[in-house]
Chain A
Amino acid sequence: MRAIIAFFALWALMLTPGVAQEVDLAKAKSFVEVLADDAISILSTEKTRAGREAKFAALLDERANMRRIARFTLGQFGRQISKEDFATFETLLSEFIVKVYANRLGEYSDEKVMVGKAQAKKKNVIVDSRIEFANGRDPIDIDWWLRLEEDGSLTLFDVRVLGVWMAQEQRDAFASVLKNNKGDINALLEHLRKQISADTAEG
C-alpha cells in the first residue's frame, strides 16, 4: 500500500512542473495575442508618424524590458562602459527601435496575427505566430521571445521575422561599429543619434 502511495506521490510530483508550465504557456500566448492586437491597432488607427511612434514607445516601455535588450545588444562590451554611457545608450536604443520598427511595420496595418504553439525552458518562452494577409500575399511566420521576470510577469525580449531575430541583428551591427571604431562607445552613440535625427528629418 505504501509503495502505491509513494508511486502516486512521485507521479504527482513529476506532473507538477508540467502543469506549472502549461499555465505559463497559456499566459504567454495571451500576452502575445494582446501585444499583437495592440500593435496592429496602433498601425491602423494612428495615421501620423509621430502619433504612431509615441504609441509604440509607450507599448515598448510597458511590455518590453529595455534594460535587458540594451545589455544584450551591447554584449560583453556593456560591462566596459560607464553607467552614464549605458544610460544614454539605453535611451537612444529605445528611440531608435521605435523609429525603425514603427516604419518597418508600417505596411502591416490590416492584417491578422494567428498565435500558434508556445514552448518554454527556464525563463524563456517562445510563442509562434503567423501573419495572414488579406490581399493573398504569402503569410509571414513571427516568433516572439518572452522572458519570465522575477515578479512572475512576462516581458518581450525579441521578435523573429523570416528567421531573423531583431535584437540579434542589432547586436551584430553594433558589435561591428564598435569593432571598427576601436571600441569607442561614443562612435556607436553618434551613429544612433544620426539615424534617429535622419529619420525624424525625413518623416
Chain B
Amino acid sequence: MFRQKLLLLAVAVALTGCAAPSQHNDPFERSNRFMFKVNVQFDNYLLKPVAKGYLYVPSPVRQSVRNFLDNLASPVTLANDIFQLQGQRASTTALRFGINSTVGLFGLFDPAKRLGLEKHDEDFGQTMAVWGVPEGPYLFTPVYGPSSPREFSGWIIDWAFDPMTHQDDWHLENAIGRYAIDGIDARASALTVLDEIERSSVDFYATVRSLYQQNRASEIANGVTNIDDLPDLDEFDDLDDF
C-alpha cells in the first residue's frame, strides 16, 4: 500500500512539474473550455434536475445526510491536519469524529458543533500545497469539474488512504454512491447561487475558473487573509490620470 502511495505521489509531482505558466495558469484553455461545455450539459440535463429533486427531501434528513458524509470524511481530514502539522485543528477533527460518531449516532447529527468544535476540511491537495508542491495547470475535468494535477492527484491519494476504502466489505458501487450523494447534496445547496453567477457572468468559464482558483488558495491558507499577498494597488491610485 505504501509503495502505491509513493507511486501516486511521484506521478503527482511529475505532472505538476511539466506545467507551462500562463496568465491564469490555463495553458489548456481550449480543451478545458470544451470540457466545461460538456459539463454544463451534464449539469443541465442530469445533475441539476436531480439536485432540484433532492430538495424535496425534508431539510432535517438532508442535514443528517450532510453530517454523515462529513463525518465519514473526518479521518482523511485528520490525516491531512497531521501532515500539515496543525495540532489544534487535528485535535478538533479527532474530537468531532469521536463525539459525532457516538453521541451523534454514527455521524447523523453534529453535537460537536454545539460544543464549539467547528468543522473544517483538509485534503491531500492542500497538504501538497503546504509542502510546496506546485499546483500545475488549471484542468477542467469531466464530472469532477475544476481541478489541477496537484488537486486531482491529492483526491486520489485521499481516496487511497481513506479507511473506508480498506473495509472488508468495500464495494465500488458503495464508493460511487457516496461520491454521487455528496455531489448531489453539494449541487443542491449551490443551486440559486450558481444560477445567479451564470446569469451575471460576462464569461462563465473564466468566472468559474477565478472562483475555483481563489477559493482553493483560501482553503490552503485555512481562510486566513494575508495582507502581504494582496495585489499592489498603487499603480491604480493616480485616479485623475485618465
Contact = CB atoms under 8 A, between A and B. Distances in A.
Interface of A: 65, 67-68, 71-72, 78, 83, 86, 99-100, 103-104, 107, 119-121, 123-124, 126, 128, 141, 143, 145, 147, 157, 160, 162-165, 168-169, 172-177, 179-180, 188, 191-192, 195, 198-199, 202
A164 B211 contact: yes
Interface stretch (B13-21, B75-83, B87-95, B215-223): B215-223
A103 B24 contact: no
Interface stretch (B122-130, B149-157, B229-237): B229-237
Contacts of A124: 227, 230, 233
Given A86-B242, A121-B227, A123-B233, A99 B200 contact: yes
Interface of B: 23-24, 192-193, 196-197, 199-203, 205-207, 209-211, 214-219, 223, 225, 227-228, 230-231, 233-234, 236-237, 239, 242
A147 B202 contact: no
19 contacts: A78-B242, A121-B227, A123-B234, A126-B227, A126-B230, A163-B214, A164-B214, A168-B214, A168-B231, A172-B207, A172-B210, A173-B206, A175-B23, A176-B205, A176-B206, A177-B202, A188-B202, A191-B202, A202-B199
Nearest to B209: A172
A147 B239 CA distance: 13
A199 B225 CA distance: 33
A99 B196 CA distance: 11
B218 A164 contact: yes
A83 B214 contact: no
Contacts of A119: 225, 227
Contacts of B206: 172-173, 175-177
Contacts of B211: 164, 169
Contact of A104 (B196, B215, B217): B196
Nearest to A137: B189
B28 to A, nearest CB: 14
Nearest to B192: A107
A103 B200 contact: yes
